[in-house]
Structure 1
Amino acid sequence: MAKKTRSRESAPGENPRRPCPCGSGKRYKACHGRGDDVIVTRPFAGLAAEPDLVAMREFLPSAVAPLPLREAPDVPVTLATVLPGASAALVRPSGEILLAMQMQTRSGDLSADLARALRWAQSAAPGSALPVVGPGIGGDALVRLQDVLDPEAPLELTVHQDFGWWLDRSAGEPGPEIQATLERANSVIMPTEPVIAEGVRAAYWVDTGSKAHLRWVRPEPEETLMAALARLQARGELALAEGTRYAGAFRAHGLVVPVWDLDRESHPKEWVAPAAGFAARLEATVAGLADEPLTDVERRSRDALLGKQITLR
């Protein structure tokens, strides 16, 4: 069923004919000025943290990072993958703010929803939780992550193997109900490790139980990335290493996430060198695209690779 588009008046002082601050290229009155049902397909464009944000939203189970705000906050602000009860935000008794990437939203602009949750938390009482971000949360003026984050700062992510960080130790030992909730959440976590190397960012080893994968959020435009991957495929250089297989890719929030099947018996750190080597090959291949167009064989490879893609968001 199609969503109804809610009419919305411009806030005082806003020019409805100005370019929309979401970066869509449309005028404000034809974009976010129309209401909350605007779909922003690449909500984190312009931020160095874009690949990390996509990973936290789509497939990292348990991870946190200090939010790199433009201005130092009065209290710490931590971005998390998911919070207890699937809350959008919560404020601990100490005043620390936690925002969830994997939250329920009621608009098509995830960047604006996260900014709304942040503004709500900055004025909420300690011990409060926000179940879901909806219209009117955090005020009416359009503010997005691009307005509040340092655009050049990546996320300094910490990946956890459980949700022990949910607990506020200053509040004492958790009761039986909280402990049971924590155990249920921990039981469904898929083991995940970051693969960190020179030229490698937003790449993660994950064990799904039947297979191990490398999922790698790439910052390049899709057309550029797929052309480069096709050239590597045609050269027989698309695998990370012997015994690995390119499984396909998925699109998420405007970026492409290639996926490789890996040997489950290998330790996650064994993929650091292969990932670094692939990153160097990919960088050189992208650089060469401007001087040498794809051959017929490479175009056929690109078409085959595109057939292995799915779109999540």
Structure 2
Amino acid sequence: MIEDGLLRKWLNDELTDAEKLAFSKREDYALNQDIIEKAKYFKASEFSKMDDFQTFRDIYKTKPKTKSINWIRPLLKIAALVVVSLGVYFTFFGNDLIEERTLASEQTTINLPDLSQVTLNANSEITYDVDSWNSKRRLNLKGEAYFRVAKGKTFAVITEYGIVSVVGTKFNVKARDNYFEVECYEGIVKVTSDTIMRHLLEGDTYRILNNEFSEVEIFDPAPEWINKRSRFRAIPFEEVIYELERQYNIKVVVKGADTGRLFTGGFTHTNLENALSAITQPMNLTFEISSLNQVLIHGNTD
């Protein structure tokens, strides 16, 4: 914690004219100024933070002076200084990273700074930097979201499994465990995942499920989940179960059934019993609601 009153006020830009004059005559003024000037030129790190400015300054003042013939060591020192500087700078000067998320059985629509809209499905999350949005429209997605992008500069959605780039369009992105899917509802969407790149037109789908790539056509004007209904086309039954759990905040236990079988159909998000009937009857399965948050699905034992 910073105990020096003048130093604290200087960091917060609260010095009076007289205090500024006194502070500029201190022996450590040049050191403090040098640290802040160097920190300005780096982008934020999500992984490193210093407790306070005083801690960082002590490290900065006592960095080793010994010479080395190993050219790697100076680079390592510079890298360490960069990481620490980022933590100090953004601890004291703010962080404009915005995070929006939904819990199980939730859905929400977010207006972005350029009036683009994002509708998040259950158990999903986006993060973006509002300060740099006008110059670089990009966000990170975990889960599933439907995008209605206002025309402008390139708009990028970054996921663990691939990158989606557009200008102005409507599209859906699902980025969940072993399941990456992009559906284009309007305009043109560029999708890149590892070595597979495609330009999607309206009605095209890009899907990587369990490391297998496929392309199918869609005919709906928008994803059905935004209207409280999930629909699947030749999807392993286990993926259907995962989505049911997200939409109803329940735990499903399957006994005596092959969850790898492909399922085509859908279920509503507004009535659990109807949803269970919709996914079990086509698969010749039965279900039992055993408690408020647990469901058992049984295979046919005949």
- Identify whether the pair has TM-score above 0.5, normalized to the shorter chain: no
Structure number with higher relative contact order (C-alpha < 8 Å, ≥ 6 residues apart): 1
Which one has the largest radius of gyration?
2
Q: TM-score, normalised by structure 1?
A: 0.26
> Which one has a larger percent strand, Structure 1 or Structure 2?
2
Q: TM-score, normalised by structure 2?
A: 0.27
